[in-house]
Chains A and B, each alone.
Chain A
Amino acid sequence: MVSITLKTNRIFRSCLNLATNLKFSITLFIIICIVSAIGTIIPQDKPKEFYMNTYSLKVLGMPLWKIIQLLSLEKIFYSNFYLILLLCLSFSLFFCSLKSQFPYLRTSRIIKLNNNNPPTSPLHESKKIKYNNIASKNDSSCVQLVSQGYKIYTFDKNLDKAGPLLIHLSLILILLGSAIHAFNDFIAQEMIPIYEVSHIQNVISSGRISKIPQTISLKASAFTVEHENEKVVKQFITNLAMLNSKGEVLKQGLVSVNHPLVYKQVYIFQMDWKLFGIRVNYGKNKIYEFPVQKIEANNEQQWSCTIPAKNQSKLILIFKNMSDEFYVYDNNQNFLKIGKINTPQLIRNTYFTVISKISGTGLQIKKDSSINIVYTGFLLLIIGLVINHKGSKKRT
């Protein structure tokens, strides 16, 4: 029994030694660099056919794409191998802080001097000697001497040595935060028509223990596009409300690009927009909704909508961007006229009014339970680097 614990202890110790070895961590750095570089050279997250076409070259009697798939190089940053590398890095950081940096910080703060030597000469004289000795050894500005009875302590006032410790701790925090994020959170994308209620359904990615809230629903009550000029879009803004299962408003606010809406670790981002359809009034309160189709043309977003007209004919309406104007064509693609929303039109004996457009807003919904940890890590990293830099300046 004892021998087993001794053995495990020895294994543990040798692991600890390896983890705190500088050469080991430098090797780790370099391996991570090389693996990441491979990850940028091979395009990531593409369909299987892409790899079969691009990497059809044969190496050692095996096509290259098979090797790529075998080593999971096509999603290298999410592979177990990369996870293990990052784990090794965190362990190395953690044990290095624990084993060498933390004790170093403590010893640098309090150095006990003259512990068990009773003074042979009168007290004040011995103190004087000690002071002189220490003053000649250290830069007097950053060392404080304290005498307690016959003992003299010195306090290192500058906390320069806290720099590396802080850097390592902050890196551990960042890695921990992103690990929690990867396990606990989800990302979803929804295209929500205005005035309609939508649930979180289209989940893009989710962690292994993440829960998607089923009781929350989203309702967009307005969507506007701000323009810089004719063609340039400045900002997309959605007026969004989060509802619970009873339909009560939990949170309401504006969502725009770079300005997400936050409710209890759930972040909602403005991503995209879309035209779903139009409402047309044919007179006498006969209101119909027609779907639109997107056309890609000249870097402009255009939508076309076919509406019925009299005598079995059809009219095609083209909407460009978000403007209130639309272009009317007939079946044979002849241009007829430019119309405007909410103004009655009389075209080919058909009397109609386009009342409104039904637009939808594209939102990205993300739960992030560890963003505070990551941001704290960022802050500490910067503080640690600055302290470290100041310290290294003093040493040289």
Chain B
Amino acid sequence: MEQYILKLENSINILAFLGALVSSLFYWAKLTYYKQIQVFSLPKFCLIFSNCIIAGMLLERCFRYSYFPLSNLYESLLFLSWVLNIITIIFVDKLSIIGAIGSSAVTLIIGYANYILPPSLRQTSILAPALRSNWLMMHVSVMIFSYGLLIMGAFLSLIYVIVNNNLSQKSLNRMFYLPSFYVDFDKNEPRNDIGTATINRNKLSYETIESLSYKFISLGFISLTLGIISGSVWANEAWGNYWSWDPKETWALITWLVFATYLHIRINKKWNKIYASLVASLGLIVICFVTWE
């Protein structure tokens, strides 16, 4: 019976994976080749399809083992891909590049969870008494949700850094040859706000990327904070220590600090947004490291 269910799970997984793969291919194609608006969007349909499958699988596991289904790495990765998927579905109409990033990230995560992760990690382990806590459930789900938001925001920032050619040679020199935090950034540098600069179609889309990235990260930052807090409340209730400097906690703190730095630079109007985006791209590396670990 168990084996039969596992086989069924595998074949359903392939469908979710294929759905995400097809939609990511179409979104990349859409970015480069044709840009007309379609009434019926095939890639979006594929994404919604794979989203439903992932949600169904998580729910099925929830009912089969009768507990909250985020006990191991496999389920956490599935949930992360679901979060990224739903963000993509909601925001893809605002900015087409979100479709390309989101769907390929979903494809990668599902693929990794199903085909590279060793099968022993996929089996549900029995929960120890300390892990049966509502605070822990809240911690895990909010953490993964925040990672989804932060990954999306940081990716957009990275794209802003790559695409925006406003980064002049002068500031490049400053960034790489001088300790940049003790150099006053050029305050007269033209800022390409929509209001102040001449409205240029390209610039507008850059700014949309940047502002969406800011929105994602600030929302993700709030949920990251909530996740860390609920985790430490749980730890305090389980063994009476809200912070014990173990590597997972420390990396969560590092992520928090990196994105706090991003927010501080971003809200300071004197500084160019590109520096904030660079910090967010650094945050992307940190998050990837955290989730892989």
Residues of A within 8 A of B (CB): 22-23, 25-27, 29-30, 32-33, 36-37, 39-40, 44, 77, 178, 187, 228, 232-236, 256-260, 267, 269, 271, 364, 366, 368, 371, 374-375, 378, 381-382, 385-386, 389, 392, 396
Per the bound structure, the CA–CA distance linking A8 and B49 in Å amounts to 69
Contact A26 B264 (CB under 8 A): yes
CA distance A33 to B126 in the complex (A): 35
5 further A-B contacts with Cβ under 8 Å, apart from A258-B129, A368-B240, are A257-B130, A257-B132, A260-B237, A364-B239, A385-B221
Name the CB-closest residue of B to A26.
B261
Contact status B233-A378, CB under 8 Å: yes
A187 to B247, CA, bound (A): 21
Q: How far is the CA of A317 from the CA of B268 in the complex (A)?
A: 72
Asked whether, in the complex, the Cβ of B229 is within 8 Å of the Cβ of A378, the reply is yes
Is the CB–CB distance between A40 and B251 below 8 Å? yes
Of the 9-residue stretches B29-37, B167-175, B196-204, B252-260, which lies at the interface with chain A?
B252-260
Q: What's the minimum C-beta distance from A205 to chain B, rounded to whole angstroms? A: 10
B22 CB-CB contact with A under 8 Å: no
Q: Are A260 and B240 in contact (CB under 8 A)?
A: yes
B68 at the interface (CB under 8 A from A): no
Is B222 part of the contact surface with A, judged by Cβ < 8 Å? yes
- Inter-chain contacts of A366 with B (CB < 8 A): 240-241
B223-250 residues with Cβ-Cβ distance < 8 A to A are: 225-226, 229, 232-233, 236-243, 245, 247, 250
Q: Specify the chain A residue showing the minimal Cβ separation from B268.
A: A22
Please give, as numbers and ranges, the residues of chain B lying within 8 Å of A39 by CB-CB distance. Answer: 245, 250
Report if A29-B233 is in contact (Cβ < 8 Å); known contacts: A23-B182, A39-B250.
no
Q: Which of B181, B219, B245 contacts A26 (CB 8 A)?
A: B181
Q: Are A234 and B129 in contact (CB under 8 A)?
A: yes
- How many Å from the CB of A140 to the closest CB on chain B? 20
Contact of A364 among B222, B232, B240, B254 (CB under 8 A): B240
Q: In residues 50-92 of chain B, which contact A (Cβ within 8 Å)?
A: none
If A27-B181, A39-B245, A77-B245 touch, whether A392 touches B222 (CB-CB below 8 Å) is no
Shortest C-beta distance, A230 to chain B (Å), equals 11
Give the secondary structure class of B's interface.
helix
Are B264 and A22 neighbours in the complex by a CB distance under 8 Å? yes
Contacts of A382 in B (CB 8 A): 222, 225-226, 229
B133, A258: Cβ atoms closer than 8 Å: yes
Asked if A258 and B254 make an inter-chain contact with CB atoms under 8 angstroms apart, the answer reads no
Q: How far is the CA of A69 from the CA of B232 in the complex (A)?
A: 30
CB pair A29–B219 under 8 Å, yes or no, is no
Chain A positions within 8 Å of B225 at CB level: 381-382, 385
Complex contact B242–A374 (CB within 8 A): yes
Query: How far is A66 from B155 in the complex, measured between Cα atoms in Å?
Result: 41
Cα–Cα, bound, A36→B226 (Å): 21
- A36 and B250 contact, Cβ closer than 8 Å, known pairs A371-B236, A378-B233: yes
* Contact in complex: B129, A29 (CB < 8 Å): no
* Closest A-B pairs by Cβ, 7 of them: A257-B129, A366-B240, A40-B247, A77-B245, A23-B181, A378-B229, A385-B222
Question: Does B218 count as interface, using CB distance less than 8 angstroms?
Answer: yes
A392 to chain B, nearest CB (A): 6
- Are A33 and B240 in contact (CB-based, < 8 A)? no
| Cβ-defined contact, A178 with B243, below 8 A | yes
In contact, B245 and A396 (Cβ under 8 angstroms): no
For the complex, give the distance between the alpha carbons of A387 and B242 in Å.
25
Q: Does B159 contact A (CB under 8 A)?
A: no
Option from A27, A269, A386 in Cβ contact (under 8 Å) with B222: A386
B114 within 8 A of A: no
Q: Indicate whether A29 sits within 8 Å of B222 (C-beta atoms), given known contacts A232-B126, A258-B238, A378-B229.
A: no
Give 16 pairs: A residue, B residue, CB < 8 Å, sorted on A: A27-B181, A30-B261, A37-B251, A37-B254, A40-B250, A178-B243, A234-B132, A257-B130, A258-B129, A378-B229, A378-B232, A382-B225, A385-B225, A389-B218, A389-B222, A392-B218
Would you call B265 an interface residue if the criterion is a C-beta within 8 Å of the partner chain's C-beta atoms? Answer: yes
Select from chain B the residue with minimum beta-carbon distance to A39.
Answer: B250
A25 to B, closest residue via Cβ = B264
